[in-house]
Structure 1
Amino acid sequence: MCGAPLIPAVGLGSQAFGLLFPADGVPQALPQAGDLADCIRRTPSVHRNLALGPGVGDAGQHWDHHRVRGTDELINVDDPAWPELQELFAASAVPVRVLPVDRGESHRSLLQMQVTARSALGAVALNSGGLVLDDGWVRVFGGGSGEDDGSLPSLAQVNAFPSDFDPAWHPAKGLVVGHDVLGGVFALNGHDPEAAGRPGVPGQMTYFAPDTLEWEAMDMGHSMWMSWMLSGRLEKFYEGLRWPGWREEAASLPFSQGISVIPFPWSQEAQADLAATSRRAVPVREVLGVAADFAQQMGPVDPGFLGAV
């Protein structure tokens, strides 16, 4: 199946943060990679997917949305997700690198999101500085890996969380959870995707595609997205967006940089012959900024917030 069970996050997860998160019980929410169907098939410039909406919550659990949970309560849980995620990393069909975590940033991310370590989102924020997949092609944000140029920013930093916990704050458009080197953005929908100009339903993963300059629904929650990436589906997903030698180019980049493609990935020239394009390493913020500018000029809607990097 492609749709992951979704429930409101614990505490003020859906009220203050404005998001629905994957079921807060990862043993039920994280399928094994081998059980996944090809949920997303990508042809050049087009995503094709199975339109599955969210299922029921984790074992029928319901949360008190008027109670804020402290860091200790979010961390010290039964059945934490991290051991199962580590098993998925070990069996992954793509190279996975788990970065060391900045504890201060990881706790700040967890507290503002109000998700526990039982969820994949909370486990990655608590136990890793982020994940580097497919030799650097995809960067999944977690607790942050430090302050130097070679580090990966935290979920709190990428989403511009308040410096101090604020139960009234939430990201207006949704939560950015990953980038790829071409400026593709993976984000988790907030409580009102339509108002934010995003496709899909609350709590569903979406992707801002660098070859279409549009947000595309992925029809899966965060936990399923993690399993899907580790199952080897990225190769099909990025069909038409990779060229001979892409792996070496991605692997050579610091996390502060992405790849600028000229002519641009959304141009007819690039889509006709991507290998013939000119490519160079530039700051990720530049790749995102150029895509956002052109999307505003060419697209039907402003793509909105793509991450603070």
Structure 2
Amino acid sequence: MKSVFKSLLILGITLLSTTVFAQNKMQSLDELINKTDPAWPLVQKWIDSAKNKVEVLEADSANAKNALFNTQVSTYSTLGAVIYNSGGIMIDNGWLRILGSGSTRLNRSVPEWNKGKTIEEYGDKPDYFLVADDAAGGFFAINYGAFGKDLKNVYYLAPNSLNWEPLGLGYSEFIRFCLDGDLNEFYKGLRWSTWNKFIANLDGNKSYSFSPYLWTKEGTDIEKCRRKLVSTAELFKFNLSKQKELKTAGVAPAQ
């Protein structure tokens, strides 16, 4: 009887191990690098004809391969192409930062930035995935179920509402919007009159924090708010904490 029980126990452990391995099995780099129809040439065309000011940060080959593997997306996709072919993309002198494989000016790769926030380990399936952010403390993420049924659409965690707001755009459309869209209109109320004088040399790991907070009644006029540069990582953590706090208290932001 003990022998039968032991055999069943070993079989159960083996099946469990096989299931876990299957869930976490990651595609190889060769499988992720699409050599026949990569998306980057199309993205490059979009960049070349962009209406907004664009700077593609140079990618380090080793970092690009590592970031692509850890993200587990193909270069056939726009996201994979941006990760593999850029250290990141800066829009409007770095006001808006689209994450890639990391660079000196934007020292955050897509997988590194998400680890500990939306995933615990590389290869995990996230409920949402952070892909860009801005100097005003806003964050962009692809929805994988956390925000609604519109899977793979991009949402914006707005600093003046602390809500994840749907943009109605997939990632490719989001990139096109960043390149060609009316960003002054999109950021109406989030850009102070002299914002462009402060952005050119902005560290891509820093964002502005405002006082009073932009989601309060006192913070509705950004021209009257004080601002200071803080760690983008700390600001994201703070915003999520405040978002939870406000929801728990049943308090609606002023915006």
What is the TM-score normalised by the length of structure 1? Answer: 0.67
Q: Which residue of 2 aligns with 1:186?
A: 140
Residues 142, 155 of structure 1: 8 Å contact kept: yes
1:281 paired residue among 217, 226, 229: 229
Query: Which residue of structure 2 lines up, in the alignment, with residue 208 of structure 1?
Result: 157
**Change in 2 beyond 3 A, CA 1:244/1:96:** same
Q: Which residue of the other structure, out of 282, 291, 298, is the alignment partner of 2:246?
A: 298
Residues in 2 aligned to 1:115 and 1:184: alpha-carbon distance in whole angstroms: 24
Question: Relative to total residues, which structure has the larger helix share, 1 or 2?
Answer: 2
Paired residue type of 1:108: N
Counterpart contact for 1:199–1:216, Cα < 8 Å: no
Q: 1:166 to 1:282 in 2, by over 3 A?
A: closer
Give 1:199 shift: 3.5
Shift of 1:176: 0.5
Tell me which of the two structures has the higher relative contact order, counting C-alpha pairs closer than 8 angstroms and 6 or more residues apart. 1
Partners of 1:253 and 1:281 within 8 A in 2: no
Secondary structure in 1 matching 2:244 = helix
Is the contact made by 2:71 and 2:110 (CA closer than 8 Å) also made in structure 1? no
What code does the residue aligned with 1:116 have?
Answer: S
Q: Secondary structure of 1:207's partner? A: strand
Does structure 1 conserve the Cα–Cα contact (< 8 Å) formed by 2:136 and 2:191?
no
**2:61 equivalent to 1:103:** yes
Q: Which residue is equivalent to 1:7? A: none
SS in 1 for 2:168: coil
Q: Shift of residue 166 of structure 1?
A: 5.7
Kept in 2, the 8 Å contact 1:131–1:140? The answer is yes
Q: Distance in 2 between matches of 1:157 and 1:121?
A: 15
1:94 aligns with 2:52: yes
Q: Which residue of 2 aligns with 1:144?
A: 102
C-alpha distance in structure 2 between counterparts of 1:200 and 1:166, whole Å:
24
Count of aligned pairs between the two proteins: 224
Aligned partner letter, 1:207: Y
Q: Tell me by how many angstroms 1:75 deviates.
A: 1.5
Is the 1:92–1:232 contact (alpha carbons within 8 Å) kept by the matching residues of 2? no
Which runs of 5 or more structure 2 residues have no equivalent in the other structure? 1-21, 250-255
Q: Could you list the per-position Cα deviations for residues 29-83 of structure 1 after superposition, in whole angstroms to 9, with x for gaps in the alignment?
A: xxxxxxxxxxxxxxxxxxxxxxxxxxxxxxxxxxxxxx85421232242222212
Distance 1:299 1:177 in 2: 25
Structure 1, unaligned runs of 5 or more: 1-14, 18-66, 302-309
Closer, same or farther: CA 224–266 of 1 in aligned 2, 3 Å: same
Which SS does the other structure have where 1:219 is aligned? strand
Superposition deviation, residue 200 in structure 1: 4.7
Higher alpha-carbon Rg: 2
Distance between the aligned counterparts of 1:244 and 1:199, measured in 2? 35
Distance 1:110 1:240, change over 3 A: same
TM-score, with structure 2 as normaliser: 0.80
CA distance in 2, matches of 1:68, 1:154: 18
CA RMSD of aligned residues (A): 2.3
